[in-house]
Structure 1
Amino acid sequence: MKSEFQSHEPDEPFLSRVQRVLTDLSPAERRLGEFLLDFPGELGSYDAQELARLCDVSKATVSRFIRRIGFESYDKAKKAVRDERATGSRAFFAHAEPEANAAALALDMREEKDNLDRTFGKLNAGELDDLARAVLSSRKVWIAGQRISFSFAHYLFWQLTKIVPEVVVFPQGGETLGEHVARIQKGDLVIAIMLRRRVAGTKRLLDAILEAGAELALISDESMARHADARWHFHCHTHSDGPQFNHAAVLALCHQIVVRATLQSGREGRERLRAVDAVNEKLLQVEW
């Protein structure tokens, strides 16, 4: 006789477990399952009785559901959810309770201030100035970023291209990494922005950059271990109680790099900025 409790791979993601059994559940269990698909992080925040209250089911239904998705106990399921939340999946940060969502919408900017304070409290101004000098002295500046990191890579590119003759952001749409990494060489600087959730192959990409002889500067969130071979590694705090990471500190750090490089570029940088503005005005590209 087939068991009513399905077997699961030990490392199968929590949401995959729920989705796998959803069509076979009783109405009460299905209501619980659909709730956890929307708010999986709540299992890591509440005990079984509290979760039952949120879903309007019995505690016995919660226990039965936990066994259906392959966990021996509620505590083990709770630990699995917390572990997955730590990897950076924002699905685990949504809240069902109205007061939690109200706090996330508050306009007091506490998260931004806290992330900025924690990030800049650990920054070394000398290291930032050292990176700024490398930006100006390198043969070519490469800025790497994928997924959300691509947005910040493009911000750096658009700001630095006004003062640096050779700067490239990669990969662009449809490009492979190899098309760019194969052209990186000694004397180049690579600024790699690596915010979670990082794509597979991140370590191999960094290894290839270093093997090419380039200097490597890393900008990451606080979850990434310091890279032993990177000349610079800046950690940005991105904590958020809401459903999205808070990237205020990342943008602020990028701004600091741009400002320091611009100031250090001196007359040559100022002349390049003026030339860019003059051409834009001539071509009627901007309005003031």
Structure 2
Amino acid sequence: MNVAITPVALKIRQLMTQHLGQRLRQQFDQLTPHERRVAGFILDHFDDFAVYSAAELARLSGVSKATVSRLFRRLGFASFQEVRQHARELRHHGVPLVTDRSALGNGLERFQRHFERERDNLHRLLEAIDADTFDAIVARLDEAPEVVIVGYRNGYPVALHLRQQLIQARDRVRLAPQPGQPLSEEITDLAPGTLVIVMGFRRRARGFEALMARLAEQDAACLLIGDPTLAASAVKPTWQLECPLDSISAFDSYTAAMSLVNLLANHLLHRRLQSGRARIDEISAGYTVLDELD
């Protein structure tokens, strides 16, 4: 199956496969001894190389600033500012890089900065959700004969938590693929009305576009939960909810995604409150019979 790749998606793919670290490794043997010093320092500090200025890279590597400039030109960068921009783009697409050494702050300031970023993510998430769209999603969660949740990499914990929450209120909620099994077996011959929920957070696994195209071919109802880089996706689902992942430094925050899981699960439970309460009671009784919880 041929899947169309948008120009934006192609740019992202090129960015992720030809980033600075890979260019350095590919050309390392062709570098001069002084250039290798700089390259070695960058590779050893790749997660935070962007916090250094060109002068600092030169000083810490024991070479001249001109050597640093020559190295970056050899790698295809017109200036050190372009290298910094490259690092910011990598961070935007999910590569965990420190781009500001003072980003965390000191003392209580670090907690305030973290709180403000998390609050901003939640605000952006909820502000972007259309109430009618949300109600339609919850209605399908309630009425679908089966819910299939697909999540790879950082999307897997979110998918696992969503499944754990939904299974409290309804039956036939499963994760796909099962460990060691191909995904194609899990999404073939989906029952009419099945809802497929796909986690599409940045640095998505290879085959994401093909999966979305396959679901579209099957005319399956699909909810795509991801981050703003989903704009590059060539295939649009039935519904799409975007969770900001911004944090104060290198690693993405999934607070907004987990909050969305909570919101969906609570609304599903309230939509089927009587049967949902009965199911929760039955599950709790099972815990007691099997002596699974304290």
State if a TM-score over 0.5 links the two structures.
yes
SS of alignment partner, residue 173 of structure 1:
coil
Change (3 A) 1:153 1:81: same
User: Structure 1 residue 114 and structure 2 residue 143: aligned?
Assistant: no
1:167 maps onto 2:173 in alignment: yes
8 Å contact from structure 1 (residues 219, 234) kept in 2: yes
Q: Provide structure 2 residue ranges, at least 5 long, that are not aligned to the other structure.
A: 1-13
Moved more, 198-207 or 140-149: 198-207
C-alpha contact (below 8 Å) 2:47/2:98 kept by paired residues: yes
Identity level (%): 29
1:91-170 mapped onto 2 (5 Å cutoff): 93-95=97-99, 97=101, 99-102=102-105, 106-108=110-112, 109-170=115-176
1:70-109 Cα offsets, whole Å, 9 max, x none, are 445445544444443333222xx22583x34546992222
Pairing 1:17–2:27 present: no
Question: How far apart in 2 are the matches of 1:43 and 1:138?
Answer: 49
Q: Normalized against structure 2, the TM-score is what?
A: 0.82
Whether contact under 8 Å (1:238, 1:249) holds in the other structure is yes
What displacement does 1:121 show? 1.6
- 1:124 to partner: Cα distance: 2.3
Whole-Å separation in 1 of the counterparts to 2:99 and 2:237: 38
Amino acid at match of 1:121: E
Change (3 A) 1:280 1:41: closer
Residue 41 of structure 1 contacts residue 82 of structure 1 at CA under 8 Å; is this kept in 2? no
Q: Deviations over 1:107-147 (max 9, x none)?
A: 22222111111111212233223211211100110111111
CA distance in structure 1 between the partners assigned to 2:170 and 2:87 by the alignment = 46
Structure 2 SS opposite 1:206? helix
Q: Which amino acid aligns with 1:244?
A: F
Q: CA deviation at 1:41?
A: 7.1
Aligned Cα RMSD in Å?
2.9
Distance 1:95 1:79 in 2: 10
Superposed displacement of residue 175, structure 1: 1.3
Aligned AA (1:167): V
* Conservation of the 8 A alpha-carbon contact between 2:149 and 2:175: yes
Alignment correspondent of 1:178? 184
The question of 1:233 aligning with 2:256 is answered no
SS in 2 for 1:158: helix
Q: Distance in 1 between matches of 2:106 and 2:250?
A: 12
Letter in 1 for 2:184: G
Q: Deviations over 1:200-225 (max 9, x none)?
A: 22121012112223211111111111
Q: Are 1:267 and 2:274 counterparts?
A: yes
Cα distance between partner residues in 2 of 1:87 and 1:26: 32
- 1:82 and 1:116 mapped to 2: Cα distance? 23
Quick one: which of 200, 208, 213 aligns to 1:202? Answer: 208
Structure 1: distance between partners of 2:156 and 2:206: 15
Give the aligned length.
276
Are 2:288 and 1:281 equivalent residues in the alignment?
A: yes
Superposed, 1:21-100 pairs within 5 Å as 21-22=27-28, 25=31, 28-40=34-46, 48-49=54-55, 51-52=57-58, 57-90=63-96, 93-95=97-99, 97=101, 99-100=102-103
Query: Which letter maps to 2:69?
Result: S
CA distance in 2, matches of 1:65, 1:88: 25
TM-score (norm 1): 0.84
Counterpart in the other structure of 2:217: 211
The match for 1:247 is 254
The secondary structure found in structure 2 opposite 1:193 is strand
